[in-house]
Amino acid sequence: MQKFEHKSTHILGADLGFGKSYMGFMGVTTQKGIKMATITMRQMLEAGAHFGHKTRYWNPKMAPYIFGQRNGIHIINLETTLPLLEEACLFIEKIAADSGTILFVGTKPAVKNEIQNAGKECKMPYVSNRWLGGTLTNNETIAQSIKKLEELENSLKDENIDNVTKKEALTIRRAFEKLNRSLGGIRSMNRLPDAIFIIDVNYEKNAVQEAKVLGIPIIGIVDTNSSPDDIDYIIPSNDDSRGTAKVITSSIIESFLKGKKSIPMLDDTDDDFIEVDGEGNISKDQTKRKKRIFVADKKITKEKVSEDKVETDDGEDGDKIDDTRESENPDISREEEQKNQDINSDQLNDPSNSEPSVEEKTKPGSELPGSSESEDNEDKKDS
């Protein structure tokens, strides 16, 4: 890494590390043409986001994001940080618009409060004390621990705590506080998150590994001593500063809440299910079905009006003629009656279908089935 010479010190200021030349990049425009509105270069400089770690602890893979070094400390190039931060914010906004979940992770003392605030403001799960092994990969065991936490919380209620001794109540309270420190932030996480936001990916390497195994996108603040290989959305910045963590998390929170507001609200409809096409628009079949129902209603009303007119117009002397009561659709009933008459006449004219009457069966010339056999039997008896 090339050290700063005297001719380049005019770029670096005495207070924050940069001079007027670098301060002029406020309001950076990303590659997509979207101008940063939530965070500025001055805010990043005042928060100390440009200060990296000592040069002897640096990771060579972070070289594209390092501006130089001064007094044995690497200086992060904020010209690359702001566009990458904007890209991460757009990704988070998209997840929020799709009703997704984000897990906030940061257990270092300097950043844990910012992680808690981010989780509470976004109403998302967070881990701010200690990352339990298997939080993502062994979700069943974590679910059992959360169930135990809820049972302990139920035992601490006023109506239940009176049934135990003071020593037992103290034991239950301590067990609850211990579990709540580790699991209190992820009690609402019923499924795997759609993304995970991490402050200091080197310190939270266990969380990075579990998210990588499950294929969960990672948004991480990466310092000069960390590796950016497993991070999907890199934010090169100082990960030890409380001010930097506050500035970046506030931008993340703002993007998430903005995405939440963009979720479309469906209007109340009479149908329980709404048919949509491949592009997500309401299907035309549903509108056609509604139109057909509307036309059918019109036909029914017209028939009722015609029936009322027949009853009122034909009964001049007070005698009403109810021709419509014979059948709701006279054309259909007449056709059915004509068909029935034709069928009956065909059956009567067909001699094969007619059965012999009782008189024909009892005529002297006619023989009933089995009569010849009975006469032969009688002749055998007489002989």
Token pair belonging to 367: 């023989």
d(CA 83, CA 64): 14
Kindly report the average pLDDT of the chain as a whole number.
74
| Side-chain-facing half-sphere of 267: CA atoms under 13 Å | 3
Residue recorded with tokens 């005297």? 6
Q: How confident is the model at residue 218 (pLDDT cuts 50, 70, 90)?
A: very high
Pick from 296, 321, 327: nearest CA to 309: 321
Cα 44 to Cα 82: distance, rounded to the nearest angstrom? 9
Six-digit token string for 298: 């019109």
% of the chain at pLDDT higher than 70: 58
CATH (residue range 6-136+192-261): 3.40.50.10490
pLDDT at position 82 is 94
pLDDT higher at 184 or 333: 184
- pLDDT tens-digit map of 195-210: 999 999 999 999 999 9
Task: Please write the tens of the pLDDT for every residue from 61-108.
Answer: 999 999 999 999 999 999 999 999 999 999 999 999 999 999 999 999
pLDDT tens string 302-337 = 555 555 555 555 554 444 444 444 444 555 556 666
Top-confidence residue, 170 or 219:
219
List strand residue ranges (DSSP E) for the chain, in order.
Answer: 51-54, 66-70, 73-76, 102-105, 126-127, 195-199, 218-222, 233-236
What pLDDT band is residue 291 in, cutting at 50, 70 and 90? very low
The band of 340, judged by pLDDT with boundaries at 50, 70 and 90, is low
* 271/296 Cα distance (integer angstroms): 18
Confidence of residue 115 (pLDDT cuts 50, 70, 90): very high
**HSE (CB half, 13 Å, CA atoms) of 360?**
4
Architecture of domain 137-191: Orthogonal Bundle (1.10)
Which residue in 47, 42, 72, 46 sits closest to 57, CA to CA?
72
Residue ranges covered by each domain of the chain: 6-136+192-261, 137-191
Give the strands of the sheet with 66-70, arranged side by side: 51-54, 73-76, 66-70
Higher-pLDDT residue of 356, 184? 184
Q: Quick check: do 6-136+192-261 and 137-191 share a fold?
A: no
The model's pLDDT over 9-68, given as tens digits with 9 standing for 90+, comes to 333 333 444 433 343 333 444 444 444 446 788 999 999 999 999 999 999 999 999 999
**Residue type, position 268, single letter:** D
> 40: buried, middle or exposed (CB in 10 Å: 19+, 13-18, 0-12)?
middle
Q: Distance between CA atoms of 337 and 316, rounded to whole angstroms?
A: 31
Give the model's pLDDT for residue 307.
Answer: 58
Q: Which residues contact 266 (CB under 8 A, 6 or more apart)?
A: 274
Is 80 exceeded by the pLDDT of residue 278? no
* Residue scoring higher pLDDT (245 or 277): 245
Chain centre distance of CA 117: 24
Helix (H) or strand (E) holding 249: helix 242-261
Residue 152: its H or E element: helix 139-155
DSSP string across 76-100: E-HHHHHHHHHHHHHHHHHHHHTT-
